[in-house]
Amino acid sequence: MRLALVEDNVELASLLSQGLKAEGYETDRMTTAADARAALSTTRYAALILDLGLPDGDGLSILREIRQRRDPLPVLVLTARGGLQDRVGGLRHGADDYLIKPFALEELVARLEALLRRPGQLLGRSLQVGNLVFDTESRQASIDDRPQMLSAREVTVLELLMRRKDRVVPKKLVEDHIFGSSGEVASNAIEVYVHRLRKQLSERGANVQIHTVRGVGYLIAEEKPA
Amino acid sequence: MTSFKSIFARIIFLHVIAMVITAMFMPLVLYWFMKSSANDLHQQAMRDQGELLGAHLALDANGRPTLDLPPALRDLYSQAYGRYAYAVLDGSGRVLFSSRQDEAPIFPRAVQSSEIEFLETRQGDAAISGVSMQKQVGGRTVWIQVGEDLAHRDVIIDDIVAEFFKRVAWITLPILLLLLASDIAIFRRALRPLLRASEMAKLITPKRTDVRLSGQDIPSEILPLVGAVNQALDRLEAGFRVQREFTADAAHELRTPLTILRTRIDALLDRNVAKVLHKDIEGMARIVSQLLDIAELETFSIDRAEQADLRALCAEVAELAAPLALAQGKSIALSGTERPVWVNGNAEMLTRAVRNLVENAINYSPAGTTVEIVVDKEGTVHVLDAGAGIRDDDRELIFRRFWRQDRRRSGGAGLGLSIVARIAEAHAGTVGVENRPSGGADFSLRLRRIETPIQAQAVLAG
């Protein structure tokens, strides 16, 4: 899968492309806005990683041009500016996501995968946390490649959690998915499902942990070796 | 002399002094002028009468002087009228002719010289004033004396002069007072643009360096001062901007090398070393972010119309901070009201404030404990931790820049709480800390709740 990486710092660009290569992505590197425009007009990329600070122009103008063409190319913005205006501005101009420097390569890869996994994008359908894998198409969970039987509601909860691995899934979101936004919700219904799911996964040897963030929601993460 | 702070008071004070002096001297000077010109008129009249009398003097065949007055003149000098009198004397002082019955000279003490002499004398009630002048009549020298009784009821010029003080002088005082009043009004009007300019100047703060004094209506004498002040402000603003931009640029510039460093560390084979270095980089990245926050806060001023849902933004902070807490074996929880709590303020800034409080609490609490965020419906957020708490002596200090409870700890420059304090201040709120009875600190951020939010839907936290 080929990605466009527009980053004026040659050293960083080279390190990122090495890191991405290790994850199975080929990258074309551009250091100026002009190069980026030229490359984007001739090549079809899976996604664009765009640094906002470029020597010959603002990265945001490239982003604007892409969106004016109604090009659905997923764009992940890298920015050294973390200011209020910059962030809001970046998303308003059509960035799909942004990362503030310094970021971990892991984080970049994770965000990229999330973008590529969106409807109509190119990445495969399976989500993974530790030894737990979830196939979004067949809605099948497996632990160490052994398929697991789970109830429909447990599957819904698990999918939500795994789609937002290492991030909190608000309880409200889970409620909406299970009961619909208008339905009456028994106050502890979600707790019950999560409790059951947690128990099932742990009994079947998944090395994942579902954390409760009281008053907020739930988060799935790989279990830390004690 | 008293020194006045106010230019207005100074002008009025000097004006009053000038007015008092004018009020005293102007009538006196006018009186003196009136009196001297009345005197001149009188003397001129006397001289003319003397000349007229002289024209009727002649010598008869025996060489003796004769005076043949027409009836009109004779009436004028008649005893009955009593206003005018004349006498003609010869060189030895003998009276040749006189309008008086006693044939006495009008001015007995007149010096007989060639000069016209002005004289005054009193005879009973009469105050006689007049001239003594030399006249040649056919080779003989005589002196003509003409006098007028200034106390005579027909003489009014003296009365006018005397009445001047009683009737006229007092008018100058109200006129001067009126002048003073109108001057006060004029000065006030003239100074008003200056007052407006000072009102403008009051708005200038390090956060609002864009204000300039308006030159509109400013008197041309003051305009150079206003211009110079504005130019000084331009220079100051440029200085401020350079300083602010430096902080922001420096922070930006640090981020790319930090990313490179981080990516290199990711490639290290020794995972333990990598882990330790990652922590260091996270600490540095945090300082860089906080410096940027501070640079941004320097110019931040809140829009009065902005509203934020405190409860929603606390939920967002809890979501964002949860992975961080869990990674350190700690937990985070949100409690308190479950309904929206609308406050006046900028959601992004308030999110930063709460995030800083929460990150601070996570950093200072031991593993296995929970950081609790409590939102009450009055617009206060409490962030409770189970750490060591804050010493009483430090309660004020911790909100200052670069202050840290434990200087040996890495990962922070002590900027977080000062950012919270600054954001609270910008929102007319307060931040404080108490120790919990059960141990640990209770940070509270108090904001102004609004009863009826204008647009309860559109403002999203962050």
Q: Which chain A residue lies closest to B248 (C-alpha atoms)?
A: A81
Nearest to B292 by CA among A92, A83, A171: A83
The CATH fold assigned to A2-116 is Rossmann fold (3.40.50)
Instruction: Specify the CATH number of the domain B205-299.
Output: 1.10.287
Dist CA B68 CA B109 (whole Å): 26
The amino acid sitting at A97 is D
Q: Which chain B residue lies closest to A213 (C-alpha atoms)?
A: B333
Mean pLDDT of A102-112: 87
Nearest to B206 by CA among B288, B306, B301: B301
> How many angstroms separate the CA of residue A27 from the nearest CA in chain B?
16
Dist CA B435 CA B388 (whole Å): 9
Please state, as a whole number, how many other Cβ atoms lie within 10 Å of the Cβ of residue B342: 23
Q: Which sequence spans correspond to the domains of chain B?
A: 7-159, 205-299, 304-446
Taking 70 as the threshold, does the pLDDT of residue A181 lie above it?
Answer: no
Chain A residues touching B264 at Cβ < 8 A = 15
> How many angstroms separate the CA of residue A15 from the nearest CA in chain B?
7
Taking 70 as the threshold, does the pLDDT of residue B76 lie above it?
Answer: yes
Second-level CATH architecture of B7-159: 2-Layer Sandwich (3.30)
Highest mean pLDDT among A194-198, B26-30, B124-128: A194-198
The pLDDT-based confidence of B372 (bands split at 50, 70, 90) is very high
**A216 phi-psi bin (left φ>0, alpha ψ -120 to 50, beta other):** alpha
The pLDDT-based confidence of A124 (bands split at 50, 70, 90) is low
Please state, as a whole number, how many other Cβ atoms lie within 10 Å of the Cβ of residue B236: 13
With beta carbons less than 8 A apart as the criterion, state whether A156 and A178 touch: yes
pLDDT in tens, B314-360: 998 999 899 889 988 999 999 999 899 999 888 888 999 999 999 98
Nearest neighbour of A15 by CB, restricted to B264, B296, B326: B264
- Residue B267 touches chain A, beta carbons under 8 Å: yes
Q: What is residue A182's predicted lDDT score, i.e. its pLDDT? A: 61
**B411 phi-psi bin (left φ>0, alpha ψ -120 to 50, beta other):** left
Which of B247, B249, B253, B259 to mutate to probe the A interface, most A CBs <10 Å? B259
Taking 80 as the threshold, does the pLDDT of residue B428 lie above it?
Answer: yes
> How many angstroms separate the CA of residue A129 from the nearest CA in chain B?
15
Taking 60 as the threshold, does the pLDDT of residue B410 lie above it?
Answer: no
> How many angstroms separate the CA of residue A225 from the nearest CA in chain B?
12
What ipTM was estimated for this complex? 0.70
Taking 80 as the threshold, does the pLDDT of residue A208 lie above it?
Answer: yes
What is the CA angle A11-A14-A17, rounded to 5?
A: 150
The pLDDT-based confidence of B406 (bands split at 50, 70, 90) is low
How many CA atoms, within 13 angstroms, populate the side-chain half-sphere of residue B134?
Answer: 12
Q: Which chain A residue lies closest to B254 (C-alpha atoms)?
A: A80
Q: What is residue A86's predicted lDDT score, i.e. its pLDDT? A: 59
CATH superfamily of B304-446: Histidine kinase-like ATPase, C-terminal domain (3.30.565.10)
With beta carbons less than 8 A apart as the criterion, state whether B152 and B106 touch: no
The pLDDT-based confidence of B457 (bands split at 50, 70, 90) is very low
Taking 80 as the threshold, does the pLDDT of residue A31 lie above it?
Answer: yes
Which of A51, A214, A224 to mutate to probe the B interface, most B CBs <10 Å? A214
Phi–psi pair at B21, nearest 5 degrees: -60, -45
Task: Tell me the CA end-to-end span of chain A in Å, nearest whole number.
Answer: 37
**B445 phi-psi bin (left φ>0, alpha ψ -120 to 50, beta other):** beta
Instruction: Specify the CATH number of the domain A126-222.
Output: 1.10.10.10
Q: Which chain B residue lies closest to A210 (C-alpha atoms)?
A: B326
- Residue B272 touches chain A, beta carbons under 8 Å: no
Beta strand pairing call for B95-98 and B65-67: unpaired
Chain B residues touching A81 at Cβ < 8 A = 252, 292
- Contacts of B43 by beta carbon, 8 Å cutoff, 6+ apart: B118, B131
Chain A residues touching B285 at Cβ < 8 A = 102
The pLDDT-based confidence of A209 (bands split at 50, 70, 90) is very high
Dist CA B117 CA B133 (whole Å): 6
